[in-house]
Structure 1
Amino acid sequence: MGYYDDSESKEQYLPQKKRNPFFTVLIMIIVAVVSSAATVFFMTSDEFGLLEDRASTASSQTTTSSLPVKNAVAVKSDTTKAVDKALESVVGIYTYQGNQLFEGTTETGAGSGVIYKKSGNYAYIVTNHHVVEGASQVEVQVSEGTRLQAKVIGSDELTDLAVLRIDGSKVNSVAEFGDSSKLTLGEPAIAIGNPLGFLEGSVTEGIISSTNRTIPVDTNGDGQEDWQSEVIQTDASINPGNSGGALINIDGQVIGINSSKIAQDEVEGIGFAIPMNVAKPIIEDLEQDGKVDRPTLGVRIADLSQVNPVGRTETLKLPDSVQEGVVIIEVEGSSLAEKAGLKQYDVITKVNGDKISSDAELRRSIYESNGKKMSITYYRNGKEQTTTVSF
């Protein structure tokens, strides 16, 4: 036997013998498999990724070709049915300031509104007072790209409601009002509106968080409570631009007019809507008269909480048991209050048997009297008395 030389085949130094054909074929298969494995192992990452993509594609093609494909079917839930019913009646509202004839107008705000009536050549829309307040021109977008000039028929600051009128020829859908007195805690609530002023027809869903919430309102910005608004609380998202839009129930009925939210970093999901049963009589007054006529007592008053201890004891002569009420500072001549016998420094504690603790509560009680007789309980010189005011 000779020596091993790399320049020559090693096979020449092996004993020569007859090979089995089957063994030769087996060796060739093993070599081929090992070579293929080595090739895959030493592929670059890009090449391996490409291989995977091709494999996935091939697998997908195989699956697609072997299984039947059905067309997607739109699912109609109670929510989508409710939205379909109400969506077209909710519109975008855009306000402008300036003089169109001379310097031109500038868009200054945007909100939402609800078409609630179509009569003759006109359609009527309810929105928030704060949406159209101070505007020299108002436009309503009834469909994508179609804006119509609107006339403000009437507006009420206390309830934050306003009524607009537009050409009715472009209006095809009118909202259906629901009964907000029948709301139950936790039932679905769906808000539809125009958030941010350009996302018309946006829909958010939540629940009724409170059916009857009372929140203080400062209408003139002096930091003092002027009114107490009765509202529906919901966690359906209400964003800037949603004001004046619809809060609907699962039957697609408008149960409230979206009006505000608590906007603080630590607060989420607290929005408010004016209940439909509160809004309807205001809407009717605004449509017919352009304003809401409310009775007045003819007094200037202050909350009892603002009176110092000496004034409570020496001037008002109140017993210690009286901690809440409103003090009459001045009575107007020939007013309803004067006719009812009320005088300066009387302290009103109840109206129709309900406790009164603030100016806002007294105003609300008077306005809700609706022109009927009203019983007033008050203290004068430390003694409780009662009188009746006839409107």
Structure 2
Amino acid sequence: MSEEQDKQRNTRKKENNRLLTKAAIIGVVAGILGGGIAYGGLSAANLNSNTSSSTASSSSSNTGENGSVTTSSSGTTKVNKSKTTSGTMTSAYKKVQNAVVSVLNYKYTSSSSSSSDIYSMFGYGDSDSSDSSSSKKSLTLYSEGSGVIYTTANGKGYIVTNNHVISGAAKVKVILASGKTIAAKVVGKDSTSDLAVLSIDSKYVTQTASFGDSRSLLSGQTVIAIGSPEGSEYASTVTQGIISSPSRTITYNSNQMTVIQTDAAINSGNSGGPLVNSDGQVIGINSMKLSSSSSGDSVEGMGFAIPSNEVVTIVNQLVKKGKITRPQLGIKVAAIADLNSYYKKQLGISTSLKKGLYVASVTSGSAAASAGIKKGDVITAADGKTVNDVATLHSILYSHNVGDKVKITVNRNGKTMTFTVTLQASN
């Protein structure tokens, strides 16, 4: 190869590298702006797929004892159009699909730029030039989650989501099922239950979801989770699973919560979206998942949702008052029915009772302590109503105001005792 040819080859190689670098940078910028290039590519692919056709030809079918055999000319195979177009949960999905939204959390960030050149975004700007440098505050998309429109009233559409989805937001927007992005207002939020309510103009609401009775759930029941896993790019993603446990007590932000456990896939971005039963009713709001154990082992299929009965109680108060002031007893409890013999032994539970709430600890100076309730007692009733799980106790307590007196019935060493507790406000 001559020296001149070698130079031409090197020049072409440099030009190709420069074009590839430019294309890569444009691709990254397009992604930051919202992935329009990716959606365009998908649309083009779908269009090409939909417009393709095959030449019609005759075919014959022979049916034998074990089934049928179809014979056709080479290269003329067709798709047989089936009349069965829906799965067992498709009708349930259709009842809520247009009520599910993506929730966008925007926060203010300070940024400094030295040039309007596209390369400055990637650190190639002239940092030595102080005159071109400026600092400014701008709204930046901080996180994404999901939500569901559950009612309309007074010209507003109300959306329930998780508190952690909109926590610290300077501005909140939602992306409707239609793809339209609109502003939303935070009506109220509650960190204890991890719930929040947003409102939008009701003119944008085309469908609302209804709540089902979470107390009627059974282990093994089929459910679907709907939301935007990994962000709005995957909005309206549906995953199917079962109810692993209709009532599981966990600790979240130092508070005890009774949640629904499901193996339906719940990923980052699903938070705030609905867990739906086969009737198309929302029976829970997806909130969290367990991805690893305390020993560091990877965990699959353990997602948790806030039960719909508690959701309804909370959102109604948030719409009316904007916040939740909770009465509390000042105790930590465990549902005996959920404990196996090993955990009973670990907690020192010697009672032969099969149901009730075991009092694992009592806060000094709390409402329960002042009334005489002690560690080791088993709560069997409150307000004369049977109590077998934490959710039921919460529902009874939350129907009262701070300062109300509530009768709590306990079993202490086989003896039934009733205490009158004056409810205190939660911290």
Instruction: Give, in angstroms, the shift of residue 78 of structure 1.
Output: 2.2
Instruction: Give, in angstroms, the shift of residue 112 of structure 1.
Output: 0.2
**2:273–2:285 contact (8 Å) kept in structure 1:** yes
SS at match of 2:182: strand
**2:160–2:272 contact (8 Å) kept in structure 1:** yes
Residue 407 (structure 2) aligns with: 374
Matching of residue 82 in structure 1 with residue 92 in structure 2: yes
Residue 190 (structure 1) aligns with: 224
Q: Work out the CA distance in 2 between the residues paired with 1:114 and 1:188.
A: 20
**2:257–2:390 contact (8 Å) kept in structure 1:** no
Residue 278 (structure 1) aligns with: 310
Q: Tell me which of 232, 239, 249 is aligned to 1:204.
A: 239
Instruction: Give, in angstroms, the shift of residue 80 of structure 1.
Output: 1.3
Instruction: Give, in angstroms, the shift of residue 208 of structure 1.
Output: 1.1
Q: Tell me which of 260, 265, 269 is aligned to 1:241.
A: 269
Q: Work out the CA distance in 1 between the residues paired with 2:332 and 2:90.
A: 50
1:181-215 superposed Cα distances (whole Å, 9 cap, x missing partner): 11121121101000111210001111111111111
1:199-236 superposed Cα distances (whole Å, 9 cap, x missing partner): 1000111111111111112x2xxxxxx22111111111
Residue 43 (structure 1) aligns with: none
**2:149–2:160 contact (8 Å) kept in structure 1:** yes
State the AA in 2 paired with 1:79: M
**1:348–1:377 contact (8 Å) kept in structure 2:** no
Q: Which runs of 5+ in 1 are unaligned?
A: 1-58, 220-225, 304-319, 356-360
State the AA in 2 paired with 1:245: G
**2:109–2:140 contact (8 Å) kept in structure 1:** no
Residue 13 (structure 1) aligns with: none
Residue 205 (structure 2) aligns with: 171
Q: Work out the CA distance in 2 between the residues paired with 1:274 and 1:75.
A: 32
State the AA in 1 paired with 2:377: K
State the AA in 2 paired with 1:235: D
Q: Tell me which of 131, 138, 143 is aligned to 1:109.
A: 143
Instruction: Give, in angstroms, the shift of residue 328 of structure 1.
Output: 4.7
Q: Work out the CA distance in 2 between the residues paired with 1:350 and 1:98.
A: 50
Q: How does 1:134-149 map to 2 (within 5 A)?
A: 134-149=168-183
Q: Which runs of 5+ in 2 are unaligned?
A: 1-58, 60-70, 111-135, 334-348, 352-357, 383-388
Change (3 A) 1:378 1:155: same
Residue 116 (structure 2) aligns with: none
Change (3 A) 1:170 1:182: same
Q: Work out the CA distance in 2 between the residues paired with 1:145 and 1:188.
A: 28
Residue 322 (structure 2) aligns with: 290
Residue 190 (structure 2) aligns with: 156
State the AA in 2 paired with 1:273: A
Change (3 A) 1:80 1:296: closer
Change (3 A) 1:247 1:363: closer
Q: Work out the CA distance in 1 between the residues paired with 2:359 and 2:205.
A: 51
Residue 306 (structure 1) aligns with: none
1:48-104 superposed Cα distances (whole Å, 9 cap, x missing partner): xxxxxxxxxxx9982566x8875565612221111112111110000011189x712
Q: Work out the CA distance in 2 between the residues paired with 1:63 and 1:363.
A: 64
SS at match of 1:158: coil
Percent identity of paired positions between Structure 1 and Structure 2: 40
Matching of residue 95 in structure 1 with residue 111 in structure 2: no
Change (3 A) 1:135 1:185: same
What root-mean-square deviation, in Å, do the aligned CA atoms of Structure 1 and Structure 2 show?
3.7
SS at match of 2:95: helix
Residue 118 (structure 2) aligns with: none
Residue 62 (structure 1) aligns with: 73
**1:234–1:271 contact (8 Å) kept in structure 2:** yes
Name whichever of 242-251 and 263-272 sits farther off.
Answer: 263-272
Instruction: Give, in angstroms, the shift of residue 296 of structure 1.
Output: 4.4
Q: How does 1:210-249 map to 2 (within 5 A)?
A: 210-217=245-252, 219=253, 226-249=254-277
Instruction: Give, in angstroms, the shift of residue 237 of structure 1.
Output: 0.4
Q: Work out the CA distance in 1 between the residues paired with 2:151 and 2:210.
A: 9
SS at match of 2:327: coil
Matching of residue 269 in structure 1 with residue 301 in structure 2: yes
Name whichever of 258-267 and 235-244 sits farther off.
Answer: 258-267
Q: Work out the CA distance in 2 between the residues paired with 1:290 and 1:209.
A: 33
1:222-276 superposed Cα distances (whole Å, 9 cap, x missing partner): xxxx221111111110000000001111111111100110012521111111111
Q: Work out the CA distance in 2 between the residues paired with 1:329 and 1:69.
A: 72
State the AA in 2 paired with 1:374: K
Q: Work out the CA distance in 2 between the residues paired with 1:235 and 1:337.
A: 36
Q: Work out the CA distance in 2 between the residues paired with 1:211 and 1:366.
A: 16
Residue 29 (structure 1) aligns with: none
| TM-score (norm. length: structure 2) | 0.59
**1:350–1:376 contact (8 Å) kept in structure 2:** no
**2:359–2:376 contact (8 Å) kept in structure 1:** yes
Name whichever of 234-243 and 256-265 sits farther off.
Answer: 256-265
